[in-house]
């Protein structure tokens, strides 16, 4: 699909929505993160997700507010209307993306991260959302690696036990310096909570040098949610600093990852994490989101996906 085709598709879809677009009869399990549309208000997010055939939204901020419990859409006076908006289109919320970092060693800062995650868990319970994402993030310089890992596991255990009565699962993302199975598996196992699981950002493990099948072999049993995106190296930059490009235009094996997930019986959403908020120079969501829906439909059909 060319850029011109994408823009034409977007224009037609928008007109259809304005004329009273009804929800699709059937949807593939596609989602996008609101990280990719930082300028859209809530109505635009819901309308476009519905128009382009997405099944779910990953909430990672709405416009200028990244602290989701503070968003007007989830205030006591508006939360029911927000839920009705979703019900009217059949859209689900796949997960809530907190910024809480479990590696933090400073007691005061750590308490703030734990508090943030708990507030997100409370909101997830209100919205009937199954997952809240948190980060492992960094290895502490001068500290034994196992000590940092144990601290992350401890934080996960605390949050998992808090989330369990609410019917919520805390999912740890492959992120920051925790992008390989040798770090992620021990941390997840160390959490010792049935309400702790994994968000596989397949881009990060691939950039780390792992093949999708190898990552899935060790992390698949923990995986409840998946992030997909594509990129290219930036000359002269470290290997993990890359330029995000539309799916299929980079060197990340997204199609192979989809095949691994389908073959492995993955039951969650295939979520597009387009980091427009952090990288304003990349393609606008009006282009990247429908492109993702189109190419992922092809990938899933070719992989033999069955609902």
pLDDT tens digits, one per residue of 33-56: 999 999 999 999 999 999 999 999
pLDDT of residue 239: 85
Q: Is the pLDDT score of 273 beyond 80?
A: yes
| Average pLDDT estimate for 181-207 | 98
pLDDT of residue 28: 98
The dihedral region occupied by 12, where left means phi > 0, alpha psi between -120 and 50, and beta the remainder, is alpha
| Average pLDDT estimate for 125-150 | 97
Question: Which of 90-104, 160-174, 228-242, 258-272 is predicted least confidently?
Answer: 228-242
Query: From residue 273, how far is each of 36, 67, 186, 204, 306 by CA, in Å?
Result: 7, 18, 25, 12, 23
Nearest CA to 67 among 138, 110, 115, 125? 115
Is 243 inside any structural domain? Answer: yes
CB 95 within 8 A of CB 131: yes
| Average pLDDT estimate for 190-197 | 98
Q: How confident is the model at residue 26 (pLDDT cuts 50, 70, 90)?
A: confident
- In a 13 Å sphere around the CA of 272, the CA atoms on its Cβ side amount to 30
What CATH number corresponds to the domain at position 109? 3.20.20.150
Q: Is the pLDDT score of 8 beyond 60?
A: no
Q: How confident is the model at residue 307 (pLDDT cuts 50, 70, 90)?
A: confident
| Average pLDDT estimate for 197-207 | 98
pLDDT of residue 15: 37
Q: Is the pLDDT score of 71 beyond 50?
A: yes
pLDDT of residue 13: 42
- The C-alpha torsion from 75 through 78 and 79 to 84, rounded to 10°, is -170
Q: What is the mean pLDDT of the chain?
A: 93
Is 19 inside any structural domain? Answer: no
Percent of the chain with pLDDT over 90: 90
CA torsion sign for 102, 138, 202, 262 is negative
pLDDT of residue 168: 98
Q: How confident is the model at residue 5 (pLDDT cuts 50, 70, 90)?
A: very low
| Average pLDDT estimate for 236-245 | 93
Which residue segment(s) compose the domain that 65 sits in?
A: 28-302
Instruction: State the total domains in the chain.
Output: 1
Is 14 inside any structural domain? Answer: no
| 109, two tokens | 């800062």
Q: What is the pLDDT of residues 78-105, one digit of tens each?
A: 999 999 999 999 999 999 999 999 999 9
CB 233 within 8 A of CB 242: yes
Which helix (H) or strand (E) segment is 49 a member of? helix 42-51
pLDDT of residue 23: 59
Is 34 inside any structural domain? Answer: yes
pLDDT of residue 18: 37
Is 23 inside any structural domain? Answer: no
Q: Is the pLDDT score of 6 beyond 80?
A: no
Is 13 inside any structural domain? Answer: no
| Average pLDDT estimate for 167-178 | 98
What is the C-alpha to C-alpha distance for residues 267 and 196, in angstroms, rounded to an integer?
17
Alpha helix stretches (DSSP H) within 164-284: 181-191, 202-207, 212-219, 254-263
Question: Beta-carbon neighbour count of residue 220 at 10 Å?
Answer: 16
**β-strands 230-233, 242-245: how paired?**
antiparallel
Is 18 inside any structural domain? Answer: no
Is 22 inside any structural domain? Answer: no
pTM as predicted? 0.91
């Amino acid at each position: 699909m060319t850029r011109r085709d994408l823009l034409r598709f977007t224009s037609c879809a928008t007109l259809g929505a304005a004329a009273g677009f009804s929800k699709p009869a059937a949807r593939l399990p596609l989602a996008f993160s609101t990280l990719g549309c930082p300028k859209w208000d809530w109505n635009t997010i819901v309308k476009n997700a519905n128009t382009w055939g997405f099944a779910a939204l990953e909430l990672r901020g709405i416009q200028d507010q990244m602290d989701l419990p503070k968003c007007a859409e989830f205030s006591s006076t508006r939360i029911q209307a927000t839920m009705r908006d979703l019900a009217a289109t059949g859209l689900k919320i796949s997960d809530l993306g907190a910024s809480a970092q479990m590696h933090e060693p400073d007691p005061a800062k750590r308490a703030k991260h734990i508090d943030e995650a708990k507030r997100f868990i409370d909101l997830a319970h209100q919205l009937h959302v199954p997952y809240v994402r948190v980060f492992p993030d960094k290895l502490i310089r001068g500290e034994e690696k196992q000590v940092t890992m144990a601290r992350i596991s401890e934080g996960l255990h605390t949050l998992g036990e808090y989330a369990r009565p609410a019917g919520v699962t805390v999912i740890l993302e492959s992120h920051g310096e925790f992008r390989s199975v040798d770090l992620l598996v021990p941390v997840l196992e160390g959490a010792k909570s049935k309400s702790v699981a994994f968000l596989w950002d397949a881009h990060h493990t691939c950039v780390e040098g792992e093949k999708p099948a190898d990552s899935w072999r060790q992390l698949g049993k923990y995986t409840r949610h998946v992030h997909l995106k594509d990129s290219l190296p930036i000359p002269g930059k470290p290997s993990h600093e890359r330029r995000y490009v539309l799916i299929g235009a980079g060197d990340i094996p997204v199609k192979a990852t989809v095949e691994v997930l389908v073959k492995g019986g993955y039951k969650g959403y295939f979520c597009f994490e387009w980091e427009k908020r952090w990288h304003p120079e990349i393609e606008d969501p009006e282009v990247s989101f429908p492109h993702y829906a189109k190419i992922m439909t092809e990938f899933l059909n070719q992989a033999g996906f069955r609902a």
